[in-house]
Structure 1
């Protein structure tokens, strides 16, 4: 299995609207949390790359739910990336609960997916931008 590298960390509040009728964060919202981490990483990594004619598309997604999250609260989203292929790379996330002391030691969920860089008009994959490739771990 290839090596993954932590590439981004962010924190965000759990919102009241993230909860469902059972009083915990709805399972679909975990994918939004991972999306927030992935997009923040890509904005940082791609920086000056203009996402107009080409850009990232998530082609697979998965999540393992370990612990419930509830409002009010705060989470930390740790984003990890695998080595670059020609046009794609694997991304994984840990969603961690932040405790009263500000520590994020407890993993609530793990997930990720595969990101492919595509030409939007042609709907075909294209090589990853050099700036993004430089940040990803070596194969």
Structure 2
């Protein structure tokens, strides 16, 4: 992501059940951590998802840089990047709270604003665009 803007940070406890048989946080759980940060950010923005339209993730990726293990707390930093006609990029950094300078994982997701009934993309609503570009 070329240019990114920090928009939210979430603190999340690593749960015992987040680990797998190999003794580290399972790779699928990293996506849950990013999802939680994204949902908290959207809730903080207010009622952005209406009954008729809202954001849908069209792709997601994660680079697993270091293993996370229980116990501990993580910080998920949520960034926004490029904004298109109907889409926007998000990026994430996952760090342990006790070593905030070490990035354990980096991820991203592209969100597209859609009309739920038509299941088609529509232009980003002006208030959302303003929050993203601000």
TM-score, scaled relative to structure 1: 0.89
Aligned-residue offset at 1:66: 0.5
Q: CA RMSD in A?
A: 1.5
Q: Give yes or no for the alignment of 1:126 onto 2:122.
A: yes
After TM superposition, the structure 1 = structure 2 runs for residues 19-30 of structure 1, keeping only pairs within 5 Å, are: 19-30=19-30
The count of corresponding residues between Structure 1 and Structure 2 is 134
Which residue number corresponds to residue 132 of structure 2? 136
- Cα offsets for 1:61-119 (capped at 9, x unmatched): 000000111111100000010132111011000001111xxx52211000011000111
Structure 2: any 5+ residue segments left out of the alignment? none
Richer in strand (by share):
2
After TM superposition, the structure 1 = structure 2 runs for residues 16-95 of structure 1, keeping only pairs within 5 Å, are: 16-45=16-45, 47-95=46-94
Question: Whole-Å Cα distance in 2 between the matches of residues 97 and 48 of structure 1?
Answer: 30
Question: Whole-Å Cα distance in 1 between the matches of residues 64 and 102 of structure 2?
Answer: 12
